[in-house]
Chains A and B, each alone.
Chain A
Amino acid sequence: MPINNNDMEGIDFSGAEHRRVTIIGTGPAGLTAAIYSARANLEPLVVQGPEPGGQLITTTDVENYPGFPDGILGPEMMQKFEQQAERFGADLRWGTVTSVDFSERPFKLVVDEEAPVLSDVVIVSTGASAMYLGLENESRLLGHGVSACATCDGAFFREQEVAIVGGGDTAMEEALFLTRFASKVYVIHRRGEFRASKIMQQRVMEHEKIEILWHTTVEDVLGDKLVEALVIKSVETGESRELPVEGFFVAIGHRPNTDIFAKYLERDETGYIQTKADSAHTNVDGVFACGDAQDHVYRQAITAAGTGCMAAIDAERWLADQE
Chain B
Amino acid sequence: MAQDAKYVTLSDANFTSEVLDSDQPVLVDFWATWCGPCRIIAPIIEELASEFEGKAKIGKLDVDHNPQSAMQFGVRSIPTLLFFKDGQVVDQLIGTAPKKVLAAKLEGLAGQPA
Q: Do A and B come from one complex?
A: yes
In the bound complex, residues from chain B placing their C-beta under 8 Å from that of A226 are: 74, 76
Asked whether A147 lies within 8 Å of B40 as measured between CB atoms, the reply is no
Least Cβ distance of B73 to chain A in Å?
Answer: 10
Looking across the interface, which residue of chain A has its beta carbon closest to that of B43? A94
A155 interface residue per 8 A CB criterion:
yes
Residues of A within 8 A of B94 (CB): 142-143
Name the residue in A112, A144, A227 with the highest tally of chain B Cβ atoms < 10 Å from its Cβ: A144
Total count of chain A residues near the partner, CB < 8 A: 28
What does the 1/0 interface line of A129-154 toward B look like (CB < 8 Å)? 00000000000001111010101110
Q: How far is the CA of A53 from the CA of B37 in the complex (A)?
A: 9
Instruction: Let me know if B39 is at the binding interface, CB within 8 A.
Output: yes
Residues of A within 8 A of B34 (CB): 151, 155
**Chain B positions within 8 Å of A225 at CB level:** 74
Q: Is B10 an interface residue (CB 8 A)?
A: no
Given A50-B96, A112-B98, A156-B70: A58 touches B76 (CB 8 Å cut-off) = no
CB-CB under 8 A for A145 and B76, given A50-B98, A94-B99, A155-B32? yes
Contact among B32, B77, B96 for A143, CB-based, below 8 A:
B77
The B-contacting residues of A in range 89-105, CB under 8 angstroms, are 94-96
Residues A143 and B37 in contact, CB atoms below 8 Å apart: no
Q: Does B77 lie within 8 Å of A142, measured CB to CB?
A: yes
Contact B76–A152 (Cβ < 8 Å): no
* Chain A residue at smallest Cβ distance from B80: A143
Tell me if A52 and B35 are in contact (CB < 8 A). Answer: no
Q: Are A247 and B76 neighbours in the complex by a CB distance under 8 Å?
A: yes
Query: Knowing A50-B96, A96-B98, A112-B100 touch, does A156 contact B77 (C-beta < 8 A)?
Result: yes
> CB of A74 within 8 A of chain B?
yes
Residues of B within 8 A of A152 (CB): 35-37, 77-78
A residues in contact with B95, CB < 8 Å: 143
What 1/0 mask marks residues of chain B from 70 to 102 whose CB sits below 8 Å from any chain A CB? 100011111010000000000010111011100
Interface residues of chain B: helix, strand, loop or mixed (majority): loop
Is A57 positioned at the interface, with any CB of B under 8 Å from its CB? yes
User: Which residues of B lie under 8 Å from residue A95 when comparing CB positions?
Assistant: 98
B96 — which chain A residues lie within 8 A by C-beta? 50-51
Q: Mask for B18-43, Cβ within 8 A of A = 1, else 0?
A: 00000000000000101111011000
Give the Cβ gap from A154 to chain B, nearest Cβ, in Å: 10
Q: Tell me, in angstroms, the Cα distance from A149 to B94 when the chains sit together.
A: 12
Identify which of B63, B70, B76, B92 contacts A147 (C-beta below 8 A): B76
Report the minimal beta-carbon distance from B23 to chain A, rounded to whole angstroms: 28
27 sampled A-B residue pairs with Cβ under 8 A: A52-B40, A57-B37, A58-B37, A74-B36, A75-B36, A94-B99, A95-B98, A112-B100, A142-B77, A142-B94, A143-B76, A143-B77, A143-B94, A143-B95, A144-B77, A145-B76, A147-B77, A149-B77, A152-B37, A152-B77, A153-B77, A153-B78, A156-B63, A156-B75, A156-B76, A226-B74, A227-B76
Residues of B within 8 A of A (CB): 32, 34-37, 39-40, 63-64, 70, 74-78, 80, 92, 94-96, 98-100
Known: A75-B39, A149-B77, A156-B76. 6 other contacts (CB 8 A): A112-B98, A143-B76, A152-B36, A153-B77, A153-B78, A155-B63
**Chain A: residues with CB nearer than 8 A to chain B?**
50-53, 57-58, 74-75, 94-96, 112, 142-145, 147, 149, 151-153, 155-157, 225-227, 247
